Amino acid sequence: MSELSVDHLLGIKYLNKADIELIFDTADHFKEVINRPIKKVPSLRDITIANLFFENSTRTKLSFELAEKRLSADVLNFSSAQSSVKKGETLIDTVNNILSMKVDMVVMRHPNPGAGVFLSKHVKASIINAGDGAHEHPTQALLDSYSIRERLGSVRGKKVVIVGDILHSRVALSNIFALQLQGAEVMVCGPKTLIPKYIDQLGVNVETNLKTALNWCDVANMLRVQNERMEVSYFPTTREYTQQFGVNKALLDALDKDIVIMHPGPINRGVEITSDVADSNHSIILDQVQNGVAIRMAVIYLLAAKIKQ
Ligand code: CP
């Protein structure tokens, strides 16, 4: 297979295993490109991409912009805070105005789950979901699996625990779909209040004891507690959360094996992860960020190939 089965990247749940393999093979090529002295290829000189961020971002926004520039695309950056959205313009009007400037592809982060799907039904452009509320963050899950493959040789057969605020996490849902498609076994671990009731239907193991989870896994993906999505308290205090669900060096030293530690960022040092773990050889956190550029180049390149058909 040399093309994606989809015209948009709206979520991992719309992809199949061959799509993920194609994205990874293409990312392998672009990873080699971005390590050359001249880190740019002319592939997308005829493509214009708008990055629409209706919610804060550091890694995803910069990573998409860099990926687009490395592919020689023309890039427009839009942030809702400085836009006419504040004057009451609708999402479709905003995007259609941008598209009338001959834009081919839209990368969008939005606080509302399903915003990307909605947009893909109303505008003529290829849409990439850069995170929609607590729903999906597909490029994050792709770069996470790619980084596991890079460190451990493959994703198939690996045991991955996702720790923390599963309830409010788009990273958790996209990772569960991506890891299962590739044959990994997935566990979620956190306070019962932060594990969604529907989780059993996703075929994952559930654990509320972090030590048990760390003993079980090959990889622990530590999530941030998403206070900005919480209207009520889900645990007594941050200190107690850290005591029960924070990873620290003593916990890792007590294991009879080495495990890989991941985090999508931004990190709350001293809450879900201590600095001596985040900055240790166990951690592949900065590899994840670096791989994000190659993965996003691959996704953009493969979707652009479908626009050109
Ligand atoms: N991992 C991630 O999505 O980070 P940002 O919110 O900084 O983009």
At 238, which CATH number?
3.40.50.1370
178, 86: one domain? no
176, 294: one domain? no
What are the residue ranges in the chain where pLDDT is below 50? Answer: none
3-state SS of the chain is CCCCCCCCECCHHHCCHHHHHHHHHHHHHHHHHHCCCCCCCCCCCCCEEEEEECCCCCHHHHHHHHHHHHCCCEEEEEEHHHCHHHHCCCHHHHHHHHHCCCCCEEEEEECCCCHHHHHHHHCCCEEEEEEECCCCCHHHHHHHHHHHHHHHCCCCCCEEEEECCCCCCHHHHHHHHHHHHCCCEEEEECCHHHCCHHHHHHCCEEECCHHHHHHHCCEEEECCCCHHHCCCCCCCCHHHHHHHHCECHHHHHCCCCCCEEECCCCCCECCCECHHHHCCCCECHHHHHHHHHHHHHHHHHHHHHHHCC
CA of 256 to the centre of ligand 1 (A): 32
22, 129: one domain? yes
131, 198: one domain? no
Q: What is the pLDDT of residue 234?
A: 78
Is the pTM value of this prediction over 0.75? yes
304, 262: one domain? no
Ligand 1: which of 60, 136, 296 to mutate, most ligand atoms within 8 Å of CB?
60
Is residue 56 in some structural domain? yes
Amino acid letter, 198: Y
Is residue 5 in some structural domain? no
Phi, psi of 2 (to 5 degrees): -120, 10
CA of 221 to the centre of ligand 1 (A): 14
Which residue's CA is minimally distant from atom 6 of ligand 1? Answer: 57
For ligand 1, whether the C-beta of 265 sits within 6 Å is: yes
Distance CA 99, CA 125 (A): 8
Distance CA 288, CA 100 (A): 35
**C-alpha torsion 296→302→307→309, nearest 10:** 170
For ligand 1, whether the C-beta of 57 sits within 6 Å is: yes
Is residue 165 in some structural domain? yes
143, 217: one domain? yes
152, 246: one domain? yes
Ligand 1: which of 57, 136, 229, 267 to mutate, most ligand atoms within 8 Å of CB?
57
Q: What is the pLDDT of residue 23?
A: 98
Q: What is the pLDDT of residue 88?
A: 83
CA of 267 to the centre of ligand 1 (A): 10
Question: Which residue range(s) make up the domain with 268?
Answer: 138-284
123, 165: one domain? no
Instruction: Count Cα atoms within 13 angstroms, Cβ side, for 37.
Output: 0
Is residue 99 in some structural domain? yes
CA of 134 to the centre of ligand 1 (A): 13
142, 130: one domain? no
Is residue 113 in some structural domain? yes
For ligand 1, whether the C-beta of 193 sits within 6 Å is: no
Is residue 3 in some structural domain? no
Is residue 7 in some structural domain? no
Tell me which residue has tokens 């076994």. 185
Q: Taking the mean position of all CA atoms in its chain, how far away is CA 3?
A: 22
Total number of domains in the chain: 2
149, 273: one domain? yes
123, 173: one domain? no
Which residue's CA is minimally distant from atom 3 of ligand 1? Answer: 60
Phi, psi of 110 (to 5 degrees): -145, 145
For ligand 1, whether the C-beta of 58 sits within 6 Å is: yes
Number of other residues whose CB lies within 10 A of the CB of residue 193: 11
Number of other residues whose CB lies within 10 A of the CB of residue 43: 18
Tell me which residue has tokens 């889900």. 234
For ligand 1, whether the C-beta of 246 sits within 6 Å is: no
30, 166: one domain? no
For the chain, how big is the Rg over CA atoms in Å? 19
CA of 57 to the centre of ligand 1 (A): 5
Is residue 2 in some structural domain? no
For ligand 1, whether the C-beta of 226 sits within 6 Å is: no
Ligand 1: which of 59, 147, 169 to mutate, most ligand atoms within 8 Å of CB?
59
